[in-house]
A and B are shown apart, each in its own frame.
Chain A
Amino acid sequence: MDFSFNDEQREIQASAKRLMEETATLDRVVELAESDAGYSPEAYAQLADLGWTGLHVPEEFGGVGLSHVELIVVLEKMGESLYPSPFFASVCLAANALIEGARSAELSDDNAALLAAIAAGETTATLAYLEDAGKYRPSDVHLTARQDGGDLVLDGSKRYVVDGHTADSIVVVSRTGDDEDDISLVVVPGDAPGLTRKRAHAVDSTRRIATLDFAGVRVPASAEIGERGESLSTLSATMQLGAVALAAESLGAAQHCFDTALAYTKDRFQFGRPIASFQAVKHICADLLMAVEASRSAAYYAGWVAAQQREELPAIAPLAKSQVCEAFWEAARANIQLHGGIGFTYEHEAHYYYRRATSSRALLGDTAFNRELLLQGLGVAPVAA
């Protein structure tokens, strides 16, 4: 048994660390966060050159053909610096919808080409699931995909779509019938006639969200991933893999908050001694270490489960997501607290992590929701009265 990264994975880790140090300094992150696009296309091209946009995409679709373990290595490093990029939405949501969809039905030529283009970093994409209810539940999907001759016509709206205003393509979770599980995944170009995209206010400016309105948006039937109305299991798998990815990203961010806070307690003197020598401070740090290390165990195990496509993924993915996002939240709050007044200023980086923690905790379902998913993944369903 070996629960550590192999040489190749450690190399990827080292080069991810280097790239983040070069391209994602705090000043740069803040600059991008305040820019219109919200990310740097040049920096994204650098990721693509390294092969990371196609890291876990199978070779038959133009990817590198490595696994989710390599993917989480990169994500953890991105999380450390809050790296703003279309990576999460494109590679960890949209690409997974296509890869998982291809397991049940062959991808259309257009969709296969889209996956290859995402893998090559030539295009960006996202997944649009949430609507007004703000719940990741099939029963709350009301946007319809109606068949009209050889086309599909989409009507409805989507909210909280990560990178929704900039993505070149959007995988839209759509309703095809009245049964709860009549769900389709339809790929819509970002510039499709009838689609209105509006950047929405985001508490975390390093991760943009958008509101999308679909008014008679027409796409060919081949834009659909999988069989018509049969994509609920693809959607579930996509959400699980997204949760594994988000856990890894949040682990890196939590570790950064902890490292920063710990270093500060050793430098900051009050009452004539470093505040790190006070037990009230030490115990907070010991608890943070516990939370971050527990999260590391969960995030890495989940990465391995995803890579091996083990049957326990439906339980382990939400377990890891809730564990790590809670720890990140705890670490982000403690980071502010341990910095004292300076930690509450806009100038200090701490609030960016706190904002990311707030947003990531809600993204792909909050902690209560993911705990319920865990029980369902274990087969512990509510019992009918």
Chain B
Amino acid sequence: MDLRDTPGEATLRSEIRGWLEANWRDGMDPNEWFTILADSGWAAPLWPEQYGGRGASASEAIIFNQERQKIGADPPPRGIGVPMAGPTIIQHGTEEQKERFLGPMLRGEEIWCQLFSEPGAGSDLAAIQTRAVLNENVWRVTGQKVWTTHAQLARWGILMARHDPSLPKHAGITYFICDMQADGVEIVPLKEMTGEAIFNEVFLSDVEISDDLRVGEVGEGWKVSMTTLANERMALGLGGLGGSDGDAPIDLEEANAESSLDTMGKFIARGPQALVELAKRSGMINDSLVRDELARVYTMYEVNRFTGYRVTSALMKGQGPGVEASTGKLAYNQLVRAVADFLILIAGSGAMGAPDDDDDSARLLRVAERLNLVVPATSIYGGTDQIQRNIISERVLGMPKEPRTDAELPFSEIKKGG
């Protein structure tokens, strides 16, 4: 057990550091940086070389990410393209699809969104009702999708639709790539409980999708979507495992100018020191309850960081992440809830409504208010905490599934509601 670099890792680290220093400049044009990352394969180092990656080992990818953060270089293009849509297309897509989509995805030229959830299909994702009807190599798709991030910016969407309601529900699903600029795609911002509109509703009315944009076989959509969702859980889980942006204090003014979700992400990425600083400045650092809670939240941050070392260590040795990766998303949610609760604790009466004064204590109250309002989202999106617990207990602990009444019935005969 030794958390320091092995000699091999140290060499790799200095090579990567050298590459970053030679290629990154503070304030450089993001598109220029994205192109450099894509051309060098560092936009998705784990992908095979022929698809624009480096075929790198997990150690290389991890060390690259650590060094990138240290030097302050921008991350690869954001969104669901590289982490979720890309691996799905690589695993299940046709060569033409890989040729067409992966390059622009890696260069950040085309943004992707996810058209999975529907008003009637949340935790029970296989209950989607959006219909896809094939007619001479063209599918016509009609339905409603919801909770779509970046839909208004996206060029392409990954889409699950039902091609045959007479089949049992998992068997009747097919997976597509949807052109977000096609006729019949209508995007409506969805105002969330925070008052912001981070997500969208997407209405699909007779949208034409050519059959060569189908991913996987007809009826294999559920299986294909598992690849996407496993990658999503991994990305969400690893986000809480100490991918630290360093421990610089959080600029409250800047934080309040971002979306609530981004502010929340920043509080996790910066680590617990930022919270300690805020507690000191709140004037409540002598309060024994505040001290106990601060230590408790601090412990949660640190334990997640240590678990991150376990995951990293396993990945670096070429092993799959173990139990720790499955519990990552739930651990992340518990941490963000604890952070929001702590900020509300030190807000005191200010929790009734943050004043709009232009001073630090008012800015802290505004951050507390915003985080408290956004935090209920985390235990819902990407699979609710309850679904996560089902996944952990069934897949990790080998506990049997609840008996189901709908698995074998034709989808059209299943009771729907709500």
Residues on A facing B (Cβ under 8 Å)? 1-6, 9, 69, 262, 265-266, 273-274, 276-279, 281-283, 285-287, 289-290, 293-298, 300-301, 303-304, 307, 316, 319, 322-323, 368, 371-372, 374-375, 378, 380, 382-383, 385
CB atoms of A3 and B3 under 8 A apart: yes
**B296 in the interface, Cβ–Cβ < 8 Å?**
yes
Residues on B facing A (Cβ under 8 Å)? 1-6, 9, 276, 279-280, 285-286, 291-292, 294-296, 298-299, 302-304, 306-307, 309-310, 312-314, 316-317, 323-324, 327, 330-331, 334, 386, 388-390, 392-394, 396-403
A122 to B209, CA, bound (A): 80
A71 to B3, CA, bound (A): 18
Q: Is the interface of A mostly helix, strand, loop or mixed?
A: helix
Partner pick for A2 among B2, B307, B403, CB 8 A cutoff? B2
CB atoms of A276 and B306 under 8 A apart: no
Contacts of B330 in A (CB 8 A): 286, 290
Known: A2-B317, A293-B307, A300-B306. A282 touches B295 (CB 8 A): no
CB atoms of A3 and B313 under 8 A apart: yes
CB atoms of A286 and B303 under 8 A apart: no
- The chain B residue sitting closest to A6, CB to CB, is B1
B63 to nearest A CB, angstroms? 10
Task: Give me 5 A-to-B residue pairs in the complex whose CB atoms sit less than 8 angstroms apart, sorted by A's number.
Answer: A1-B309, A285-B393, A298-B306, A323-B303, A372-B291
B211 to nearest A CB, angstroms? 40
CB atoms of B310 and A297 under 8 A apart: yes
Contacts of B331 in A (CB 8 A): 290, 294
CB atoms of A277 and B400 under 8 A apart: yes
Known: A293-B323, A298-B303. A282 touches B394 (CB 8 A): yes
A278 to B392, CA, bound (A): 14
B208 to nearest A CB, angstroms? 42
Contacts of A375 in B (CB 8 A): 291, 294-295, 298
Partner pick for B1 among A3, A262, A295, CB 8 A cutoff? A3
Known: A4-B1, A277-B399, A279-B390. A371 touches B296 (CB 8 A): yes
CB atoms of B392 and A289 under 8 A apart: yes
B396 to nearest A CB, angstroms? 7
Contacts of A274 in B (CB 8 A): 400
CB atoms of A385 and B1 under 8 A apart: no
A301 to B301, CA, bound (A): 14
CB atoms of A276 and B292 under 8 A apart: no
CB atoms of B299 and A276 under 8 A apart: no
CB atoms of B312 and A286 under 8 A apart: no
- The chain B residue sitting closest to A324, CB to CB, is B303
- The chain A residue sitting closest to B5, CB to CB, is A1
